[in-house]
Amino acid sequence: MPDSVLPADPRHEEWMRLALDHAQRAADDGEVPIGALVVQIDGDDARVVAARGNERESTGDPTAHAEVLALRDAAAALGRWRLDDCVLVVTLEPCPMCAGAMWAARIGGAVSGAVNWDAGSLGTLLHLGTDPRLNHEFPVRTGVLADECATVLRAFFEQRR
């Protein structure tokens, strides 16, 4: 079993800011502002291989969460489904579907921003990343730029009310 906490890395905030850019693009398109990216890591080298925002409203697809779309794009870009050398960075703690997709992709780790009190599945309500009953576990770092991530979501919903 891996250590359940992904060690802090100064790049996490940089990557979260990129995810926040995609969240804002989603909001501009009338989507719930959640952004996600997949970063492939090779030692000290890292490169973003996919970045997406939510697209549920525009596509009518209930699975078009930013995390799922980013995982699909990363798998296509890398030519494989196993993403064990990658970290998924997302502005809101993933729901069960997205955490399950991360498990299915054998993601190497996850970094999340705001806490998801409604459906958080990487530590808040469930923890699919470190459930020993599953055949893959991955470390998670939570709360990266949490206030900024929460502010984007709060502003979006306040504007819609």
The residues that are catalytic are 67
Phi, psi of 71, deg, nearest 5: -65, -45
Q: Left (φ > 0), alpha (ψ -120 to 50) or beta: where does 143 sit?
A: left
Instruction: Give 98's contacts (C-beta < 8 A, 6+ positions apart).
Output: 65, 67, 68, 90, 121
> What is the torsional sign of CA 100, 140, 15, 114?
positive
